[in-house]
Structure 1
Amino acid sequence: MTNRLIRSGLSFVAASLLALPLAGLSSADAASFRDISDSSAKTQIEALYQKGLIKGVTSSEFQPNQQLTAAQGISLIVQSFNLNLDAVRFIKAPKASDYFAKVKDSDWSAQAFVIAQIFDFDVPSDIDPGAALTKEQFTYYLVKGMERSSGLPLINIKPVELKDDAKITAVYQGAIQRSFHYGIQSPGADNSFHPQDPVTRAEAAVMVYNALEYLKSHPAP
Structure 2
Amino acid sequence: MKKPLLAVGMMLLLFIAVTQSVWAFSDTKDHPNDAKISELQKLGILTGSSGGKDAFQPNGKLTYAAGISMIVKGLNLNLDGINFFKEPKVTDSFPNMKDDAWYADAFIIAAMNDLDIPRETKANAEMTREQFAHHLIQALLSKGDYAFVDMYAVLQDEKDVNPDYMGSVQKLLITGIAKLDAKHNFYPKTLITRGDAAGWLYDTISFVKDTPAQPPIVDPAPSPFFDMNLSVKPVNADVNEVTVSAQAPNPGYGIRIASISFEGDQAIIHVAPIYPEKGKFFAQVITTVKAVTYVSSSLKPVLGETGAGSPPNPGSAVSGSTGIIGSDGDSQR
The TM-score normalised by the length of structure 2 is 0.55
* Residue 197 (1) aligns with residue 182 (2): no
| Cα distance in 2, alignment partners of residues 60 and 218 from structure 1 | 33
Aligned residue among 120, 123, 128 for 2:117: 123
Give the structure 2 partner of residue 206 of structure 1. 199
What's the CA shift string for 1:50-86, capped at 9, x where partnerless?
A: 1111011253311111100001111111101111113
Following superposition, the deviation at residue 48 of structure 1 comes to 0.6
Letter of the 2:48 partner, please give it.
G
Give the structure 1 partner of residue 158 of structure 2. 165
Aligned residue among 29, 32, 37 for 2:29: 37
Aligned residue among 58, 62, 76 for 1:82: 76
* Residue 146 (1) aligns with residue 146 (2): no
Give the structure 1 partner of residue 44 of structure 2. 52
Name the SS of the counterpart of 1:159 in structure 2. strand
Give the structure 1 partner of residue 234 of structure 2. none
| Cα distance in 1, alignment partners of residues 150 and 108 from structure 2 | 31
Aligned residue among 100, 104, 110 for 2:98: 104
| Cα distance in 2, alignment partners of residues 90 and 60 from structure 1 | 38
Following superposition, the deviation at residue 169 of structure 1 comes to 0.4
| Cα distance in 1, alignment partners of residues 84 and 162 from structure 2 | 33
Give the structure 2 partner of residue 21 of structure 1. none
Following superposition, the deviation at residue 155 of structure 1 comes to 4.1
Q: Comparing both structures, which one devotes a greater share of its residues to helix? A: 1
Contact conserved, 1:101 with 1:125, CA < 8 A, in 2? yes
Aligned residue among 209, 212, 215 for 1:219: 212
The count of corresponding residues between Structure 1 and Structure 2 is 192
| Cα distance in 2, alignment partners of residues 127 and 177 from structure 1 | 24
* Residue 175 (1) aligns with residue 168 (2): yes
| Cα distance in 1, alignment partners of residues 209 and 189 from structure 2 | 30
* Residue 61 (1) aligns with residue 55 (2): yes
| Cα distance in 1, alignment partners of residues 146 and 40 from structure 2 | 26
| Cα distance in 2, alignment partners of residues 154 and 126 from structure 1 | 32
Give the structure 2 partner of residue 13 of structure 1. none
Larger radius of gyration: 2
Contact conserved, 2:157 with 2:185, CA < 8 A, in 1? yes
Contact conserved, 1:70 with 1:131, CA < 8 A, in 2? yes
Following superposition, the deviation at residue 144 of structure 1 comes to 0.6
| Cα distance in 1, alignment partners of residues 209 and 159 from structure 2 | 33
If asked which structure has higher relative contact order (CA below 8 Å, sep 6+), I would say 1
CA shift in 2, pair 1:83/1:49, >3 Å: same
Q: Unaligned regions of 5+ residues in structure 2, if any?
A: 1-20, 215-333
| Cα distance in 2, alignment partners of residues 154 and 212 from structure 1 | 16
| Cα distance in 2, alignment partners of residues 106 and 87 from structure 1 | 24
Identity between Structure 1 and Structure 2 (%): 35
Letter of the 1:146 partner, please give it.
L
Contact conserved, 1:164 with 1:194, CA < 8 A, in 2? yes
Contact conserved, 2:75 with 2:139, CA < 8 A, in 1? yes
| Cα distance in 2, alignment partners of residues 126 and 154 from structure 1 | 32
Letter of the 2:56 partner, please give it.
F
Letter of the 1:34 partner, please give it.
S
Name the SS of the counterpart of 1:29 in structure 2. helix
Letter of the 1:220 partner, please give it.
A
Following superposition, the deviation at residue 107 of structure 1 comes to 1.1
